[in-house]
Amino acid sequence: MSEPFVFDPRCDLCKEPFGAVPCGTAVTFHCRPLATEGFSHCALVLSCEFSGTQREQELPLEGFAGERLCFSGTLTAPELPDLLWYHFRFWREDGTGCLLDKTGYRSDGQAVSWQLTVYQESRTPGWFGAGVTYQIFPDRFCRLVPVDPAGLVGRRWVHEDWDDTPEWRPDPDGEIRNRDFFGGTLAGITSKLDDLKALGVTTLYLCPIFESASNHRYNTADYTRIDPMLGTEADFRALCAQARQRGMRVILDGVFNHTGSQSMYFNADGYYPTLGAAQSQDSPWYSWYRFHHWPDSYDSWWGIRTLPAVEESSPSYVDFIIDGKDSIIRRWLRAGASGWRLDVADELPDWFLEKIRAAMEETAPDSVLIGEVWEDGSNKIAYSQRRRYLLGSETHGLMNYPFRTALLAYVSGGDADDFREAMETLRENYPPAAFYSAMNFLGTHDTPRILTLLGADRTPDTKAERASYRLLPRERAAGIAKLRLAALVLFTFPGSPMIYYGDEAGMEGFEDPLNRGTYPWGREDRDLLAWFTRLGALRNAYPALQSGTISWLYTAGPLLIFARQNGDQRLTTAVNASPDSHTVTLLWEGAGPTDLLTGDTLPCSGGVLHLQLPPWGCRLLL
């Protein structure tokens, strides 16, 4: 709140409705300065990001509210999606006055404005945000039989021992090429669907599965072909079909900002019989790339020469990826995928994202589009351009890195109120459907393993030390205590909780590729796995956790308590992220609640609940 009781956009006494609004919505504002300030006039000052317009709208004096004046007025949101920035201007009859913005009253003429997101209403599939997502790095999940890489693109080799550490050392040329494989397959994933179903998983998010020279496969070589080490298109179709039989869906990773230099389209080393852009300017794919000096100087992703950037505006590329009758987007949806996660969405133009969304809706109307964005995606600026990811025609939701950042800060000793503030900022800025379609997580293939991050007392200086580092028993115990709390918040918060494969089994590891080890089948941390399984079951059993509203009951220091409600169903998450016991008193309607994590019934009398939370303790109350 900028100035006590003058204006708070999250309070319905000051602004209705809450947060982002659809185009054309009537938004009512109330400002309540003290009468002693002597203000006689108030105006809403607006700046519209995308239309480039600015204007003032006077809010008439409505009357007195105790010791305060009340200025009120209604704004009609634009008919087209936009990002509105607003503050207020107060003035007296003698012409003196000031501005009111997020920081309070100010007279310097500058303003730190509030944000009002205006979006186009569109259909968002409900199945994603309500369910539980599981991210799989396909090479490292399950190997059924030895796999021979002979004759495939790239100088690949396979670890004989499934329990080896991924190769992290540079090759003789000083490059880390990720050419070591473990032989996980799509059939291996299919064989574990019952295990994933038991975990509560409803959506499988697969890291890239198309032919590629590296184990991570983010340097695509052939978008039309499943990497032979993973299997065949028939294997993919079987995985999707068998997942559907279990009430699960499959999302693919779309890497459309760049290809691999060894791809059939660029073909730098001549592996493919086709004529690549690096071999001839007469190549059918030459227009896909931006050469500064052909063939040795070209745009690439973050300057990595093995990842030549594509020219998204090339008509043949757009047709191949999106528009064509059998485009990549359409083809793999028809093969059984239920959506796409877009790698480095910041690198893709807005019009390109719009086209992908449109093609998906034409091909599979119930499919979902998720973007990789690391910040608040409602106001993100990338390459000097304000982005439009969430305004209704691009992504349905985003990877929620702000959630991860805020939650890990909290369980690592931060203030619960900082977590609340960070999440309320997102809830205020995001269209509701996008907030509830966020992909929430504790870790991904791009971050250190969550257990290592929470448990390690230190980060060793050298990569060699980090590669061999294993948590000491006390470190592991401390990490698991924090992870249990973080997982409870993850599974009870709006948005789809995503598990990075193996986190539920207690896998460890610092940064890439140490965070991409093989799943420890038969050696899982059974207690931790049981905890995640219980949370998955609860998530799927209670509509309040899938789509309910959120309200904050207590957020201070190590104590985080919030409620989710759907109709008459109300569940309360209570977390104590500290080594000390705490008791908090809550107003409570009805009988004493049941803790769904333990089965205990807690006493309640006189409409008051004295909630006791032991060190690193938590409850989920019904």
Q: CA separation (Å) from 137 to 60, 352, 358, 485?
A: 59, 26, 28, 25
Q: In sequence order, what are the beta bridge partners of 440? A: 497
Using a 10 angstrom Cβ sphere, with 0-12 exposed, 13-18 middle and 19 or more buried, the burial of residue 362 is: exposed
Q: Are 58 and 468 in contact (CB under 8 A)?
A: no
- Pair type for strands 114-119 and 104-106: unpaired
Among the listed residues 505, 387, 534, the one whose alpha carbon sits nearest the alpha carbon of residue 443: 505
- Provide the H-helix boundaries in 385-436: 401-411, 416-429, 432-436
- Catalytic site residue 49? no
- Pair type for strands 559-566 and 549-556: antiparallel
Q: Is 591 helix (H, G, I), strand (E, B) or coil?
A: coil
- Catalytic site residue 343? yes
- CB count within 10 Å of CB 25 equals 16
Side-chain-side CA neighbours of residue 270 (13 Å):
2
Sheet containing strand 618-621, edge to edge, reads 549-556, 559-566, 569-576, 618-621
Residue with tokens 């034409």: 362
Q: CA separation (Å) from 336 to 93, 127, 218, 360, 394?
A: 68, 16, 21, 13, 22
Q: Out of 101, 139, 180, 343, pick the active-site residue.
A: 343
Q: Are 213 and 261 in contact (CB under 8 A)?
A: no
Among the listed residues 223, 229, 199, the one whose alpha carbon sits nearest the alpha carbon of residue 538: 199
Alpha-carbon distance of 457 to 436, in angstroms, equals 35
Local structure of residue 131 (DSSP, 8 states) = S
Q: What is the DSSP string of 257-272?
A: SB--TTSTTT-TT--S
N residues, the chain: 622
Q: CA separation (Å) from 474 to 479, 481, 485?
A: 9, 11, 17
**DSSP element (H, E) containing 197:** helix 193-198
One-letter amino acid of 373: V
Q: Out of 312, 372, 394, 428, pick the active-site residue.
A: 372
Q: Are 340 and 359 in contact (CB under 8 A)?
A: no
One-letter amino acid of 217: R
| Maximum separation of any 2 CA atoms in the chain, in Å | 85
Q: Is 354 helix (H, G, I), strand (E, B) or coil?
A: helix
Q: Which positions are catalytic? A: 343, 372
